[in-house]
Amino acid sequence: MQRQIICVDMDAFFASVEQQSNPRLRGKPIAVIGSGGRTVVTTRSYEARRYGVKTGMNVYEAKRLCPEIIFVIGNNEKYTYTCSRLKEIYGRYSPEVEVYSIDEAFIDVTTTSHLFRGPLEIGKGIKQEVKEAFGITCTVGIGPNILIAKLVSDISKPDGLRWVKEEEVTELLEDLPVEELWGIGRHISERLALLGIKTCGQLARASAGLLRSKFGIIGERLKEMGMGICNRPVKVVEDEPKSIGHSMTLPKDIQDRAEIKGYLLQLCEMVCRRARAYGYNGRRVSLTIRLSDFRTFTHQRVMPYYTNHTHRVYNYVVGLLEASGLNAAVRLLGVSLSGLIKEEKTVPSLFEEFHREGLLYRAVDMINNKYGEFNTVWGPYLRSIRGSQVISPAWRPSGIRHVKVR
């Protein structure tokens, strides 16, 4: 049976939500930015794209390209809620739904499409339901695998709907530049160009041996991609997490050690609270520091025990900070806990102190579960900006990758 995979990609998602929310923004060039003082464009409307405004630009660059651009501070709760509701809509057509990012999802309708008169009708149904529920548009690409479905959705934007069947894939790919394929970035496409490979058709005909010699184990995979072959399944169940991490771009560069430690304690609490909520302990702690000149360092250390106790992790993170010899202003801090195992597989500590700590964290977690995140906080970060302000690419509508963002 030919697989039928749907890729749903929301059109300029955050910007479309804001234009739908506020009728005065409709038809105008807008850019959604974060609430911090030095944020960049996270999404821009199609009207702004015409002026060359791109994601990741700072507001000054965007304003220079498009003087009439309107900056809108994003409302992450709106976007994460909408994403969760979109998943419900997709779930009406198939149980095999993978929310790949806040604005993209894959749906395997191979075994359910006959119930809805084919995948094209499902695509129409999804587009109609999304429009009715939220007033925004999405593009639906349908293909025999995820790679082609994603490609079809990318080349059909905005508000598109297209089905490319297996027998049409070769023709679609023949003259398509390799960088259009999902997973082939600028670096790989430049290296392919040096081999005289610029289109997917050329990539498909390239010698597997040559690709292997130049790209190692991904060489054959690249050839398959050129042929439109992809066996990656739609992941309905999330993989077990390898790490739990949080990072934070600070409101301003800071050098004061006490202030840095306040943010580190907060990051440790965010990491450990999530680990406790999903029953994980970790053993390896990582500290990431980005300086004001964007140089970035990551330091790691393995703890002698598995834990999800905030202050235990914090002590090791501070140890890493001290050992780093940091004496410059910091722009971004990140903490992650890896080497994860489930709590029930951890040998309980024989020390009473450990047990008492656990009860304290449990009590604080229960208060925050009832009254809201950061209702009860540790003293050193009372004055810090609190919580996640950015939707990470790893964000998911449920499970351990679900992080509440403000």
Q: Is 315 in the site for another protein (CB under 8 A)?
A: no
Q: How far is the CB of 80 from another protein (least distance, A)?
A: 9
Q: Indicate which single residue of 20, 137, 388, 392 sits in contact with another protein (rule: CB under 8 A).
A: 20
Q: How far is the CB of 169 from another protein (least distance, A)?
A: 36
Q: Is 389 in the site for another protein (CB under 8 A)?
A: no
Cα(251)–Cα(334) distance, integer angstroms: 14
Cα(355)–Cα(290) distance, integer angstroms: 35
Q: Indicate which single residue of 135, 183, 209, 348 sits in contact with another protein (rule: CB under 8 A).
A: 135
Q: Is 363 in the site for another protein (CB under 8 A)?
A: no
Nearer to another protein, 20 or 243 (CB): 20
Interface with another protein (CB under 8 A), residue total 22
- Closest Cα partner for 83 from 63, 66, 104, 97? 104
Q: Kindly indicate which of the ranges 73-81, 184-192, 201-209, 229-237 contains the residues binding another protein, using the contact rule CB under 8 A.
A: 73-81
Q: How far is the CB of 56 from another protein (least distance, A)?
A: 25
Cα(105)–Cα(254) distance, integer angstroms: 38
DSSP letter string over 343-369? Answer: GGGSPPPS-HHHHHHHHHHHHHHHHHH
Amino acid code (one letter) for 202: Q
Q: Is 77 in the site for another protein (CB under 8 A)?
A: yes
Question: What letters, b where the CB count within 10 A reaches 16 and e where it falls short, cover 154-191?
Answer: bebbeebbbbbeeeebeebbeebebeebbebeeebbee
Q: How far is the CB of 25 from another protein (least distance, A)?
A: 10
Angle subtended by helix axes 352-371 and 310-324, to nearest 10: 100
Spell out the alpha helix ranges (H) of 67-106: 76-91
Q: How far is the CB of 11 from another protein (least distance, A)?
A: 16
Residue 198 CA: distances (Å) to CA of 62, 181, 211, 247: 31, 12, 14, 37
Q: Kindly indicate which of the ranges 33-41, 52-60, 341-349, 371-379 contains the residues binding another protein, using the contact rule CB under 8 A.
A: 371-379
Q: Is 371 in the site for another protein (CB under 8 A)?
A: yes
Q: Is 133 in the site for another protein (CB under 8 A)?
A: yes
Q: Is 369 in the site for another protein (CB under 8 A)?
A: yes
Q: Is 370 in the site for another protein (CB under 8 A)?
A: yes
Would you give the distance in Å from CA 406 to the centre of its chain? 16
Q: How far is the CB of 215 from another protein (least distance, A)?
A: 44
Q: Is 4 in the site for another protein (CB under 8 A)?
A: no
Residue 271 CA: distances (Å) to CA of 152, 245, 311, 335: 37, 6, 11, 7
Scan for tokens 């722009």, then name that residue. 331
Choice among 98, 104, 129, 269 that is catalytic: 104
Which residues from 23-42 bind another protein, rule CB under 8 A? 23-24
Q: Indicate which single residue of 28, 54, 221, 404 sits in contact with another protein (rule: CB under 8 A).
A: 404
Q: Is 82 in the site for another protein (CB under 8 A)?
A: yes
**Residue 43 near residue 79 (C-beta atoms within 8 A):** no
Q: Kindly indicate which of the ranges 20-28, 140-148, 172-180, 240-248 contains the residues binding another protein, using the contact rule CB under 8 A.
A: 20-28
104 is catalytic: yes
Q: How far is the CB of 96 from another protein (least distance, A)?
A: 25
The DSSP 8-state label assigned to residue 109 in this structure reads -
**Residue 31 near residue 45 (C-beta atoms within 8 A):** yes
Contact positions toward another protein, by CB under 8 A?
Answer: 17, 20-24, 77-78, 81-82, 132-135, 368-373, 375, 404
Q: Which residues are catalytic?
A: 104
